[in-house]
Amino acid sequence: MTYDETLDYLYRQMPDYQRIGDKAYKEGLDNSLALDEILDHPHRRYKTIHVGGTNGKGSTSHLLAAILQESGYKVGLYTSPHLIDFRERIRVNGEMIGREFVVEFVERYRERFEPVMPSFFELTMEMAFLYFTRQEVDVAVIEVGLGGRLDSTNILSPDLSVITNIGFDHMKQLGDTLPKIAAEKAGIIKPYTPVVIGEMGNTEVAQVFIDKAQSVNAPIVFAELYMNNFVAERKESGWLFHASGYPDVKGELKGLAQDKNARTVLTAVEVLLETGYDIPKEAVYEGFANVTTITGLIGRWQQLQTSPKIICDIAHNAHGIRYIAEQLGSENFNRLHIVFGMANDKDVDTVLSLLPRDAVYYFTRASVERALNEVELANKAAAHGLQGLTFPIVSHAVEVARKNADKNDLIFIGGSTFIVADALPLFSKS
C-alpha cells in the first residue's frame, strides 16, 4: 500500500473518535493490552511521562518535550488529534514519524491486530510506542486521549503523571459533574509515582486527587501551592514568567491560559529533577522560548496573518472558550470577525453564551462527521444574540471573512479543533 492508501485503510477500518465521535469510542484497556502483547510491550524500553487533563495537555506535553530535548534527551512525543498531517501525532525530537514506518507498521502487523479490532487511537498509540523503541528514545511524553482511567494510554508506568485541570467535556463518557470527571482523569495516578496537578479546581475536585494519590501511595504536588510565588506578565511577544529559580522565563505561546500551563510545567520540571532527570536551567528557558520550532506545535492562539490580523485556536469547550473570549476582549481592532463551528457533542449553548455579541459571525461546519450543522449552530447562536452568515465549508467562511475585513480588523477562527484543521492549509505559507 501507498502512504495515502494506508491512512485510508486506518480511517476506514479503525474509525477515529475525533472524527466520528461515540461510534469510534472503545472503553477499557483490553485492546491496548492485547496490542501491547503483540508488539512485545515497546513502551517498557524507555522512560515515559503521562499528561492528562481537560485543557492544556497538548501545550503542556509539547513544552515538556521541548525542555527535555534541550536537556539533551532524545524525546518521543505522542499527542492527538492532528491538525494537518496524521504524522503530527508521533514525533521524535520534533520530527514527524516517517511515512515509510506508517506503511510498514500496517503491512507487517495487520493480520495480527485486525482480530483485536482496535480503535484508530489504540492502534496509532501502539504505532507510536513501537516507533519510539525503533528510534531508541530516552523518554517519551504521552498525552492522554480521553479521560484517563480507561484511556488506552493508561497501560503506561510513567516516571511522572501530570493532570492539567478539570472542566466539563466528554461528559457522556466521563460523567456530568466535575468530581466524576476528576475521578476519571485521576485514573492515570500510579502507585508510588509522583503526580503534578496543574489547577486544583474546587475543594471536591482537589479531594478526589488527594484520595486517589493516597490510595496508591503516590506523592502529589499541586502546582498552585508548590509555585505560590509564580508571577506571569503578558507581553506583545508572549509571556514573561517569574518563579523561584526561574526569573524572566520568556514564553512563546500567547494564549491566555498559558500562564497556568507554564506553572504546571515548571512544577513538573522540579519534580523530574527530584526523580533524577538532568534538566539544566538553560533548557527550560530555551524550551519555553522556542517550543513551536522545537516541537512543531500549532493551533494555540496562532497568528496566521498580520493585516488584517488573523488568529486561530483549537479551544473547543466552555473551559477553554472562556479564555478565548477574555483574550479577544483584550485585543485592539476596529471590528471583530469570528469564523466559528463546533462538534455536535459539545455543550453548545454554554459556549455560545460566552462569546462576544458585537462580532460579525461566519458560522460554518468542519469536514468531519462530528461537525454540527452550520444552520443549526446559527439558530442556537441567535438565541444568545449572536448574528452572522452560514457557510457549509470552512474555506468559504474564511474567504468571505477576509473579504469583509479591513486591515485594522481582527479575524478569529475557532470553536473546534476541526475548524482550525480545515483553516490552517489556507495559510500554509505562514
Instruction: Produce one character per residue of 64-96: b if its CB has 16 or more CB atoms within 10 Å, e if not.
Output: bbbbbbbbebbbbbbbbbbbeebbbbbbbbbeb
Per-residue pLDDT of the chain (430 residues; tens, 9 = 90+): 999 999 988 888 775 534 444 444 456 799 999 999 999 999 999 999 999 998 899 999 999 999 999 999 999 999 999 999 999 999 999 999 999 999 999 999 999 999 988 888 999 999 999 999 999 999 999 999 988 888 899 999 999 999 999 986 554 667 668 989 999 999 999 999 999 999 988 899 999 999 999 999 999 999 999 998 999 999 888 899 999 999 999 999 999 989 999 999 999 999 999 999 999 999 999 999 999 999 999 999 999 999 999 999 999 899 899 999 999 999 999 999 999 999 998 889 999 999 999 999 999 999 988 899 999 999 999 999 999 999 999 999 999 999 999 999 999 999 999 999 999 999 975 4
Do residues 244 and 130 share a domain?
yes
- Give the pLDDT confidence of 83-107 residue by residue, as tens digits: 999 999 999 999 999 999 999 999 9
- The string of DSSP codes covering 324-360 is HHHHHHHS--S-EEEEE--BTTS-HHHHHHHS-TTSE
Listed residues 267, 295, 323: the one ending a domain? 295
Do residues 316 and 249 share a domain?
no
| The predicted structure's pLDDT at residue 175 | 62
How many domains does the chain divide into? 2
Do residues 278 and 312 share a domain?
no
- Give the whole-angstrom CA distance, residue 259 versus residue 37: 40
Cβ atoms 82, 63 nearer than 8 A: no
| The predicted structure's pLDDT at residue 109 | 96
Do residues 325 and 419 share a domain?
yes
Cell of 71: 536537556
Instruction: Say which residues have a Cβ less than 8 Å from residue 195's Cβ, sequence separation at least 6.
Output: 160, 161, 162, 163, 188, 189, 209, 213, 218, 219, 220, 221
| The predicted structure's pLDDT at residue 21 | 46
Listed residues 280, 295, 310: the one ending a domain? 295
How are beta strands 238-243 and 231-235 bridged, if at all?
Answer: antiparallel
| The predicted structure's pLDDT at residue 148 | 83
Do residues 180 and 213 share a domain?
yes
- Give the whole-angstrom CA distance, residue 430 versus residue 414: 17
| The predicted structure's pLDDT at residue 99 | 97
Do residues 371 and 418 share a domain?
yes
Instruction: Tell me the residue range of the domain where 421 lies.
Output: 302-427
CATH of the domain at 240: 3.40.1190.10
Listed residues 295, 312, 341: the one ending a domain? 295
Global model pTM greater than 0.75? yes
Do residues 80 and 149 share a domain?
yes
Do residues 253 and 380 share a domain?
no
**CA contacts within 13 A on the Cβ side of 154:** 21
Cβ atoms 161, 195 nearer than 8 A: yes
Torsion of CA 192, 197, 200, 204, to 10 degrees: -40
